[in-house]
Structure 1
Amino acid sequence: MDIQIFQRAEEHRSACGEKFDGLTNTPDFVVAARLWSEFLVNHHRWFTRMQQALQRGPSAAWLGELKARRGTDPLLQYLQQARHADEHGLERIVAAEAGGVGIGAGGGLVRIDRLEIRNGVITHLSGSQDGGPLKIRITRPHLKLVPVRNRGLTFNPPRCNNDGEPYSADQAAKECLDAMESIAAEAKKFFD
């Protein structure tokens, strides 16, 4: 166990947080794509430093479990392969996805009684869908994760646990940061 290498890993985790903040706050898709790429690089560096810091001593068995998790967790596996594809491949690893509003999501008979839009904002919407309330889907502009190719294999973006939709880059970064925080907290126990 090496506390200095662990501290270097924590610097990369901090850099991931900075990239995430930028990713969620920029309206520019080109900048967001660059920040996503930088997030993936720092995540990879974090994991590499964690391996180096924890490979000896009582933490070695725990590190084995962490490496196994990275190989089986769909999001962590995708992030690793996306970083490899971005660093060594030619294809884009994200696509700009414009936002929008879907009225009558899921199909069925839709009746709109009143719709008011002022300055690009829906200020009033009333109606029904199949005799019940309208189903509305709001999609914000985001970076969509796309299938990535690495060493002849294709890795599809994982789906979110909460809605079954593919992750956006910022959703994936947030969940990854949460996992990194939890893992770092567990790892710190080996240094106490």
Structure 2
Amino acid sequence: MTRPFDAKAIPKCHDRLSKAKQALQHCRSARNFADFASHWSSFLIHTGSIINAVEAGSKQTPQGRQWHGGIKREGRKDPLLRYFFQARNAEEHALDPTTEHQQPGIGIGAGGESIYIKEFTPDQAFFQNPEKAIQGRIWRTADGKPPTIVHTPGGPQLLTVKDDRYGEAFPPPTEHMGKPLAKTDPVYVAERYIEYLEQLVQKASDLS
């Protein structure tokens, strides 16, 4: 009896999954943004190869094509899956980057309060714990409460990906499978994508 998924595609899926995990580990330990961007590119390419291998393995039977059709519909609806599909295309076929390095920042009075700064000299300790570091450096608001502080961490950040063919833009995802993402930094979002791909490869293997 012919199985829905071609078993010959499974080794390639596992090989690309292993390489994608290695690239992501290098992203975690990157010492500078150039190093991160290089490994991020590898991550996108290897994860894209998994998607391609799954598609190839599902073409042999009507059952496989039907199953893969459901996978494609899921990918078009889910913000995280849609983003990585477009990011991989941008990495291979476009010129615009998919990540950038953002300097750490701080917003004081982000709630619209009127404040008066007595002294403000940001240092490393300031960005590590801005709420504590501003004590004694800034007047409180008119009602005597501490001002609203928003801290923007530095490091790699995802960029909106554009599909110039259809004039569409795909912002960094904030949810996956109907649930909000706890964070939006590249490594965290990529970890969620790896989890999805692991499950996808397992389903393909079960059908082979």
TM-score by length of 2: 0.73
Conservation of the 8 A alpha-carbon contact between 1:143 and 1:170: no
Q: In the alignment, what sits opposite 1:64?
A: 69
The aligned counterpart of 2:15 is 11
The Cα offsets for residues 121-157 of structure 1, whole Å up to 9 and x where unpaired, read as: 1463448666556544332322332332432523232
Percent of residue pairs bearing the same amino acid type: 22
1:153 to 162, 167, 171: 167
Structure possessing the higher relative contact order (Cα contacts under 8 Å, 6 or more residues apart):
2
User: What letter matches 2:111 in structure 1?
Assistant: G
TM-score by length of 1: 0.78
Letter in 2 for 1:30: A
Alignment partner of 1:140 is 2:154: yes
Q: Paired residues, what number?
A: 189
Moved more, 101-110 or 176-185: 101-110
The answer to whether structure 1 residue 173 and structure 2 residue 190 are counterparts is yes
Deviation for aligned residue 1:164: 9.3
Gap regions ≥5 residues in structure 1: none
Mapping of residues 48-127 of structure 1, within 5 Å: 48-57=52-61, 58-109=63-114, 120-122=124-126, 124-125=132-133, 126=135
Larger Rg: 2
The structure in which a higher percent of residues are strand is 1
For residues 163 and 71 of structure 1, what CA distance do their matches in structure 2 show?
18
Matched to 1:87, the amino acid is E
Note the residue ranges of structure 2 that are not aligned, 5 or more in a row.
none
Check the 8 A contact 2:160/2:172 in 1, yes or no: no
